[in-house]
Chains A and B, each alone.
Chain A
Amino acid sequence: AQKVTQAQTEISVVEKEDVTLDCVYETRDTTYYLFWYKQPPSGELVFLIRRNSFDEQNEISGRYSWNFQKSTSSFNFTITASQVVDSAVYFCALSEIRSYNTDKLIFGTGTRLQVFP
């Protein structure tokens, strides 16, 4: 069965601190996608990144970076120099790779990040 675990329920940091959100996943599939979504108080899930299981290269996008390690089934997310606007709930998610259509997303329980000025 597929499962995503986000052990950190809530993290509080002061602005400009770096913070890492952990994500561990379980799947029997050899091919899959991993995602991170941000959910601000408005409720809408905002897509941040998709990574497929073939590509273990780390990725950096501005202050955001992602570390994918297949050996430990982890897909961690780091925010460098955090800002108050980064305050939100962050979800890690997993899906199978299907030939022609989008598979369902399996979400973790989320990590609430609070960044204080």
Chain B
Amino acid sequence: DAGVTQSPTHLIKTRGQQVTLRCSPKSGHDTVSWYQQALGQGPQFIFQYYEEEERQRGNFPDRFSGHQFPNYSSELNVNALLLGDSALYLCASSLYGGEGYEQYFGPGTRLTVT
């Protein structure tokens, strides 16, 4: 049973560039949430996707956008990168309408902006 997978593992970008992070949910899951975890902090909710639509959004600027594909996988895009965007980006998946209150997390993508 495949768990949540994320790619790439690590990424280094320059300020002003754009980045795309990818997530494949746990087998059987249809909802994907993204979190940003700055160093020494708890994860902060970015947004959640279900049925290819953004269902909830946290307090993040429009530079952060996402997409969900028909196979439930998801992308997180960040435009005009700032130094403060350096963080571990975590993807979590869950099942709509089932025991959906457990979110299973992937290993994360560590983004460094220089």
Contact residues on A (Cβ < 8 Å of other chain), bracket? 20 to 34
Answer whether residue B73 sits at the interface, using C-beta atoms and an 8 A cutoff.
no
Question: Counting CB contacts under 8 A, is A70 at the interface?
Answer: no
Chain B contacts with A in 81-114, Cβ cutoff 8 A: 88, 90, 92, 94, 96-97, 100-108, 110
Q: Is the CB of A102 within 8 A of B33?
A: yes
- Contact stretch, chosen from B12-20, B37-45, B62-70: B37-45
Q: Are B103 and A102 in contact (CB under 8 A)?
A: yes
Q: Which residues of A contact B108 (CB under 8 A)?
A: 43-44
Q: A83 CA to B43 CA in the complex, in Å?
A: 26
Partner of B100, one of A46, A101, A110: A101
B58 / chain A contacts, CB cutoff of 8 Å: 104
Q: Once the chains bind, are A45 and B105 in contact (CB under 8 Å)?
A: yes
Interface pair B42/A100, CB less than 8 Å apart: no
Q: Is the CB of B101 within 8 A of A97?
A: yes
**B31 at the A/B interface (Cβ < 8 Å)?**
yes
Most-contacted residue by chain A among B40, B43, B45, B100 (CB, 10 A): B43
* In the complex, chain A residues whose CB is within 8 Å of the CB of B44: 107
Which residues of B lie under 8 Å from residue A37 when comparing CB positions?
105
A102 to B42, CA, bound (A): 19
B101 partner residues in chain A, CB cutoff 8 A: 33, 50, 95, 97, 102-103
Query: Known contacts A100-B96, A101-B50; can you find 14 more A-B pairs with CB under 8 A?
Result: A4-B42, A43-B108, A44-B105, A44-B108, A45-B43, A47-B102, A93-B42, A100-B97, A101-B100, A102-B96, A102-B100, A102-B103, A108-B42, A110-B41
